[in-house]
Amino acid sequence: MAVFTETEKNIRKMIMDQVLAEGTCPTNSQVAQAHSLSADELAIVYRNLEAGICVAVQNKQHENIKSFQGEKLSVPPPELGEIFYARPFATFKNHYPVWVDGDQKWYGECAVEVCGISMMFPGREVAVRSVCRQTKEPVEIVARDGKLLHYSPKTLRVHIGIPVQYFPDDAVGWCDYNSFFSSEEAVNEWRKAHPRIQGITRSPETAAEFIVNLVGKGRLNYDYQPRLPVFSVLLRAHRYGFTTQKPVLKYFWPDPFWLPTPYMLSSMKRMGYKNYIRFGMF
C-alpha cells in the first residue's frame, strides 16, 4: 500500500482549505508556486492524489464539454490538467449547488457524493438542490453531519452507471452517470434510451452510508487516505449497497457491480496508479 508524502498531504490540504472556505479551487500554477514544484512534478502529485480518490484531473475526454450529466454548463469547465473534482466537490458550476446554513458557493461532484457531503461541514445544515436526470423534476437533500434529515421526492433514487472495475480508466468519467432520478420508473425510462449504461440504483440513505462511512470517512483529516474496514464491509455489505437480492431465493448476494477484477488491477498499472487504499478490521 502506498502512502502520501508530506508534500502530497500539504497540497491536498491547500486545495481543500480553499474549497471549503471559498468554494473555489487553486490553479495548477498557484499550487506549483506555493510548493516550488515544476509542472511535471505537480502532475505526479495529482496522479497520486487521483489514485487516492482525493481529486480528479481534467482529461481530454471532458475537455471543453458543453454539458455535464445532460445539463448545460453556464461556465466553461476546468482546462486540461486542472483539477476537475476536489472530492466530494466539483470545481465548476453545475446542477449540484450546495447550500451551507443558507449560503451557496459550493458545487457537488455527483449524486452519490452529495448524499454525504454534509460531513465536510460539521454541525451545519447542508442542502443540495438538483434535478432528476429523466423528468427534470426538482430534487432536494437536506443533511447534517452525514445524516440525511430530509429528501424529496420520497421516491428518490441514486443511479450509479459505471462498474467500479472501470474507475481507473477515467477518474473523471466514472461520475458521468452518477445521477439523481425521481423514481425507479424514471430510471427505467432513461435506460431505454441508454441501453449501454444500465448501472444500479440505491436509496439516498445507502449512498450516504457508502460515502460517509467508507469512501469519504476522515476526509477532513490532514492525512486522509481511503480506508476499507474489511469485516465491517462483510458484515454490513447490504447497508453500504454492496449486495443485490435474488428475487427467488430472497437472499442478499455480493453485487458484481462493485467487485474489483483483474482488468481493474491491470488498468491501474497501465494508468500509473498506485494503491492508496488502507485496510483495517473494523
- The cell for 137 is 423534476
The 3-state DSSP class for residue 243 equals strand
Q: What is the pLDDT of residue 253?
A: 87
pLDDT of 250 reads: 66
Q: Which H or E run includes 98?
A: strand 97-100
Residues in the chain, pLDDT under 50: none
Residue-wise pLDDT for 207-226, tens only, equals 999 999 999 999 999 999 99
Check: CB of residue 54 under 8 Å from CB of residue 87. Answer: yes
> What is the reported pLDDT for 166?
95
In this prediction, residue 247 carries a pLDDT of: 63
| Count of C-beta atoms within a 10 Å radius of residue 169 | 16
**22, three cell numbers:** 471559498
| 280 dihedral zone (left: phi>0; alpha: psi -120 to 50; beta) | beta
With 0-12 / 13-18 / 19 or more C-beta atoms within 10 angstroms meaning exposed / middle / buried, residue 196 is: exposed
Among the residues of the chain, which ranges form H helices? 6-22, 28-34, 39-51, 111-114, 184-193, 204-210, 230-235, 262-270
Q: 131-187, pLDDT tens digit by residue? A: 999 999 999 999 999 999 999 999 999 999 999 999 999 999 999 999 999 999 999
The sign of the dihedral angle between the CA atoms of 17, 20, 26, 28 is positive
The confidence score (pLDDT) of residue 248 equals: 64
Task: Locate the domains of the chain by residue range.
Answer: 6-276
Helix (H, G, I), strand (E, B) or coil at 140: strand
Residues 123 and 152: their CA atoms lie apart, in Å, by: 22
Element containing residue 168 per DSSP (H, E): none
Position 118 scores a pLDDT of 98
What are the C-alpha distances in Å from 82 to residues 57, 88, 232, 258? Answer: 6, 16, 36, 29
8 A C-beta contact, residue 189 and residue 182: no
Question: May I ask the CATH architecture of the domain 6-276?
Answer: 2-Layer Sandwich (3.30)
Cα separation, 26 vs 244, whole angstroms: 41
First to last CA, the chain: 18
pLDDT at 145: 98
